[in-house]
């Protein structure tokens, strides 16, 4: 838990996760670890941003500098409300 808090990767809701992802992409990070406060926040984020594909809007709006084709790989540790996003 401390790793996520210390590095500003802890989200209380989907909007905060959105802000974190935008910030990390703007810094040039292509791998982003996130931890959510609880399973509800985690589930809301997955529903809106992964299943609803809002993730691609964030990437495009944040000035992602990768290839023209964007690919996002998701690694989940659902029981800990954690996920890792890898952009390529």
Read off the tokens for 84. Answer: 């890792």
Average pLDDT, the chain: 88
pLDDT tens for 39-56 read 999 999 999 988 888 887
Backbone region of residue 66 per phi and psi (left: phi > 0; alpha: psi in -120 to 50; beta: other values): beta
pLDDT of residue 33: 96
- Angle between helix axes 54-61 and 14-26 (nearest 10 degrees) is 40
User: Which residues of the chain fall below pLDDT 50?
Assistant: none
């Amino acid at each position: 838990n401390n790793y996520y808090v210390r590095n500003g990767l802890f989200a209380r809701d989907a909007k905060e996760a959105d802000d974190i992802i935008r910030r990390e992409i703007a810094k040039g990070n292509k791998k982003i670890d996130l931890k959510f406060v609880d399973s509800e926040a985690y589930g809301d984020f997955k529903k809106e941003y992964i299943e609803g594909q809002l993730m691609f809007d964030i990437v495009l709006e944040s000035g992602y500098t990768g290839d023209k084709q964007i690919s996002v790989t998701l690694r989940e540790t659902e029981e800990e409300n954690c996920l890792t996003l890898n952009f390529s």
